[in-house]
Amino acid sequence: MRLLVTGAGGMLGRAVVQSAAREGHEILAVARAHLDITDREAVMRRICAEEPTAVINCAAYTDVDGAESDRDTALAVNAAGAGNVAAAAGVAGASIVHVSTDYVFDGSKDGPWIESDPTGPLGAYGESKLAGELAVADANPNHAIVRTAWLFGAGAKNFVDTMLKLGDQREEVSVVTDQIGCPTWTRHLAGALVTLAGHPQDTGIHHIAGAGSCSWHELAREVFAQAGIGCRVLETTSDAFPRPARRPANSVLASERPDPLVLAPWQAGVAEYVATRVSA
């Protein structure tokens, strides 16, 4: 498969490139510095010239709090930019795998969110990602939209790395118990995205995240346990950490698809990732 990856310099994009390389695919890694996905003409020229079999769009504006005061940029990248990539892939005869988020939901459901559940973003970031889903679906019929959650991995700031750093510096940390989700290691997700790119018939929305669920508090405790760090994890709530953007209380994802791609349990992702960080 000739696979083009946008956002290849980011945390998830790097993992996708590495996963595709391990599987022997021909990789066209396109980082933000080399392609502005908000430039529709440039995107069309580049993707059509490369003639990929499939495109995985990992390019995104991911600053959840920043999006509240920079809505236009978030929409330009996550909505219009995503549509540009999908449209160019379509003209090039390629399918598109687009990465979205649990933040398209409002977090109010009592139970896991499935693909057909009604969306209702709480903030600008979620709104921009939902608009991107619609733009991708409208621009290219051969699309797979992957909603995922609570990503961690090498190459960018993430919760697991933050906990490892704080655990080395402090005797205790306070972490919220009133937000739950599915921690997802980028390496696990990347493999699923590459698999999906090889199955262009599997169109539509997919929920793919680390199996199981936990709170941020439980995730912090697991990180310290895997790293052998004795830092205590105290319970607190979101009210103690006011932020510009509201977070969904329930970000747990599940799939209603008849044959979903299922990732390893989130604890396995944490264990494997922490092992790479501790030994580094």
Catalytic residues: 125
Amino acid at site 149 = A
Instruction: Please say whether the beta carbons of 102 and 146 come within 8 A.
Output: no
Which amino acid is it at 53? Answer: T
- The residues that bridge with 29 in the sheet, in sequence order, are 5
Contacts of residue 156, defined as CB under 8 A and 6 or more positions apart, other chains included, come to 10, 11
Task: Take residue 7 and report the two structure tokens written for it.
Answer: 């956002």
Across the chain, how many H-helices and E-strands are there?
A: 9, 12
- β pairing state of 180-181 and 214-215: antiparallel
Distance CA 182, CA 192 (A): 15
SS3 category, 170: coil
Beta carbons within 10 angstroms of residue 256's beta carbon: 12
Residue in the block written with tokens 């199955």: 199
Cβ atoms of 150 and 181 closer than 8 Å: yes
Cα–Cα nearest to 99, from 46, 37, 55, 159: 55
- Phi and psi torsions of 5, nearest 5°: -120, 115
